[in-house]
Chain A
């Protein structure tokens, strides 16, 4: 079983209204020196795959197809092999 942790963010050219609103709130809260805030999405997906190469291919395939809109979003991901939870005897 593999666990993919997928981090989705806007492409740099895209305005991130939520990030802007959070930034102005932080400024109002007297956090000085805040340069930039961007808000993204985080996904954890557990799935079966033959090996790590196949797993990477699967993650990229479903992320491109559903998790992001390629017009405005980009992503990176971490992939780890996880063992199935041991059931209580």
Chain B
């Protein structure tokens, strides 16, 4: 039984978490499609998700080439219309490169790829992406990245903190991110990016279901707006 929420998962050349994301969304009864990044239109979707992976081989900088994909104009337009835009891992990197989120993901402070499950603290639970978690709750989520070190200039960082735009933090700073930032949203609260992978933590079969509240939060947010 579908809940009439429609979501698009953008597949860039080199994305590799698009199927995981599709699986997670479908597990929450969301009517989800994979949309090729070379397409130019995105209409009728409540949420647009940019999955993890290595778009365009991470050539030049992570996300730098992907942000010029034809689909990205449609993503920017959907962001302006207030649709929920979610970037996970490489998707987060793409959203920062596109200027839809502030800052940049730099190479990990200690160079190397980190693939682990780490403790994440919910810094703001009054958002469309975290409302189903408790404030300051600590959950375990998988991370898998070489460039997850969040950087923003001091003024931007200050603004993020003042406006409650930091949604998730690492309990222990694993990659050098300023203020332990793991996930942020824009000021309007509809564009979100995080390095951890909630889509890999939705099925008990994989031993971790701490990502389920993330998807539940999104579903609740969309249903409450649609109901209005």
Residues of A within 8 A of B (CB): 14-15, 17-18, 21, 66-67, 69, 71-72
Cα–Cα, bound, A67→B65 (Å): 10
* Residue B152 lies at the interface, judged by CB distance under 8 Å to chain A: yes
* Interface contact B111-A18, CB-CB below 8 Å: yes
* Interchain nearest-CB distance for A58 vs B (Å): 17
Which residue of the partner chain B has the closest CB to A43? B60
Contact of A69 among B104, B108, B109, B153 (CB under 8 A): B104
Known: A15-B176, A66-B60, A66-B64. A71 touches B111 (CB 8 A): no
* Interchain nearest-CB distance for A65 vs B (Å): 9
Q: Is the interface of B mostly helix, strand, loop or mixed?
A: loop
Residues of B within 8 A of A (CB): 60-61, 64, 68, 97, 103-104, 106-111, 151-153, 176
* Interchain nearest-CB distance for B152 vs A (Å): 7
* Interchain nearest-CB distance for A13 vs B (Å): 9
* Interface contact B104-A71, CB-CB below 8 Å: yes
* Interchain nearest-CB distance for B156 vs A (Å): 9
Contacts of B103 in A (CB 8 A): 71
Cα–Cα, bound, A69→B64 (Å): 8
* Interchain nearest-CB distance for A73 vs B (Å): 9
User: Can you give 22 contacting A-B residue pairs, CB < 8 Å?
Assistant: A14-B151, A15-B106, A15-B109, A15-B176, A17-B107, A17-B108, A17-B110, A18-B107, A18-B111, A21-B111, A66-B60, A66-B64, A66-B68, A67-B60, A69-B61, A69-B64, A71-B103, A71-B151, A71-B153, A72-B104, A72-B106, A72-B151
